[in-house]
Amino acid sequence: MFLRLVADSFTRRPRRKVLTAAALSLGMAVVTAALSVSLDVGDRLASEFRSLGANLVVTPAADSLPLEIGGVDYRPVNAGAYLPEADLPKIKTVFWHNNIIAFAPELRFSVHIADTEDHPWELVRHPEEEASLVGTWIAHRIVLPDGNAFVTGVDRTNPWWGVEGRWFVEGQKECVVGAKAAKRLGLRTGDKVGPYVDDPSKMVQRVSVLTVTGILSTGESEDEAIVTSLAEAQEISRLSGVYRKLYVSALTKPEDDFARRDPKTMKADEFERWSCSPYVSSIAYSIKQALPGTDVRVIRRVAEGEGTILTRVRALLWMVTLAALLAAGLSVGASSAASVIERRSEIGLMKALGAGSGMVGFLLAAEQLLLAFVGGGIGYSLGTILARLVGQKIFGVAPAPSLLVLVAVLALAAGVTLLGSAIPLRRASRYEPAPILRGE
């Protein structure tokens, strides 16, 4: 009987019901779009931010004492400290290994440039040009401790680096040359270049002849360098199996005050919560534990920029959500108040027949909840379409529909409807039947 009363009441005055449902649908559509984008924006922005470069740098702990001012590291580099290349697969064994999307070691040193036309493999020492040589990985495949393979390299940590031509192929005696270095040395794609490290004890120097496969443009110091494979750089420098720095690109969440605390001062439960959050500092800590003898530093300019932008975008989306909920609540409240005034006679008759204030209020609230679920369902459908349009326009990828968002939207629609109708429903429950039936 109760359901019949609710259904009968719901189908009466269709124009007012349609207007209320339309207001709820529009509000819930905006809420759905904002929530869908907000839940997806973290991963999308984090992926976009990875095009800004690595956010962690690993160096030997023996470098020096830390010296950081305003987020910029000023510590000097100790040229005698190196790290073993064989330990690098351990990075993908840390707790947040899935968040580490790329890493690339670097071995940088100064070299002389030989005249490869006259001395293709060996030469007698004489004054030549000098340059910086960088050894790193490009599309390098490593085997992880669990047996899986992982492909990484500087082309993934620094995807904005541009090469006119192509990247070198590891093991093929190839290199790319920075744009400024190429201009200074007169090198073009297809030329040969002979870098070598001077050995004062020998009159005849061993030269590695590399083929230039491309001209590199980075906007950074690499524009003045010759970049080749790490294995080739190790052979030229006679530093087998080591690297000097490691750049790591990891997906992280914005740091808050808790994230910036020193883990040594945390209690056991605090440390566990900190370790189980993908803060850039907690990922740095786990990498340091996996790679003994290293110092892992956060590149603050990148990490803090990510956090600031992500926090502001999410705050904007939450403000839009709250504004949509407020507008929907006001619309429902106005419609509910008008409906209660129109139905004074009906409410008075119900009370005269024995219905209590609780029963009257419950009946009207059930009608409003049914309206909320209809409006919320329509709003979710419209909001999903809007979210796809917004996601495609801003991030190039539309967020997938989420059951969590559907449940949240229906719950918010019910809450907004009940809150908006609270005052009119309370007034209806307090109506006295006698004055109403007398027409007063």
Question: pLDDT of 152-208, one tens digit each?
Answer: 999 888 888 999 999 999 989 999 999 999 998 889 999 988 888 877 666 656 778
Query: What average pLDDT score do residues 383-405 get?
Result: 76
- Condensed to tens digits (0 to 9), the pLDDT of residues 23-72 reads 788 888 888 888 777 776 666 665 565 556 678 899 998 765 555 554 44
| 279 and 411 part of one domain | no
Tally of structural domains, the chain: 2
pLDDT of amino acid 219:
86
Report d(CA 415, CA 36) in Å as an integer.
19
Q: To the nearest whole number, what is the mean pLDDT of the chain?
A: 78
Assess whether 140 and 271 both reside in one domain: yes
Same structural domain for residues 145 and 170?
A: yes
Helix, strand, coil % in the chain, rounded to nearest 5? 50, 20, 30
Question: Are 108 and 30 members of one domain?
Answer: no
* For residue 346, pLDDT beyond 70: no
For the question of whether the overall pTM of this predicted structure is more than 0.85, the answer is: no
Look at residues 275, 298, 321 and tell me which one is the last residue of a structural domain: 298
Looking at the structure, tell me whether residues 186 and 112 fall in a common domain.
yes
Q: What is the distance between the alpha carbons of residues 48 and 31, in angstroms, rounded to a whole number?
A: 24
The answer on 407 and 385 residing in a single domain is: yes
* 133 and 237 assigned to the same domain: yes
Q: Which structural domain, as residue segments, surrounds residue 130?
A: 55-298
Q: What CA–CA distance (Å, rounded) separates 372 from 366? A: 10
Q: Of 306, 297, 259, 291, nearest to 278 (Cα)?
A: 259
Q: What is the pLDDT of residue 440?
A: 54
Q: Reply yes or no on whether the pLDDT at 125 is more than 50.
A: no
Residue 102 and residue 251 in contact, taking contact as beta carbons nearer than 8 Å:
no
Task: Identify the three-state secondary structure at position 294.
Answer: strand
Judgement on whether residues 97 and 59 belong to the same structural domain of the protein? yes
* Interval 235-252: pLDDT, tens: 999 899 999 999 998 887
Whole-number pLDDT of residue 393: 72
- Residues in the chain, how many? 440
Please indicate, yes or no, whether residues 411 and 274 belong to a single structural domain of this protein.
no
Q: Which of 298, 328, 357 is the last residue of a domain?
A: 298
Say yes or no: 250 and 397 in one domain.
no
Query: What is residue 152's predicted lDDT score, i.e. its pLDDT?
Result: 94
Q: Do 37 and 65 belong to one domain?
A: no
Q: Are residues 10 and 129 in the same domain?
A: no
The more confident residue out of 206 and 413 is 413
Q: Domain boundary residue among 252, 271, 298?
A: 298
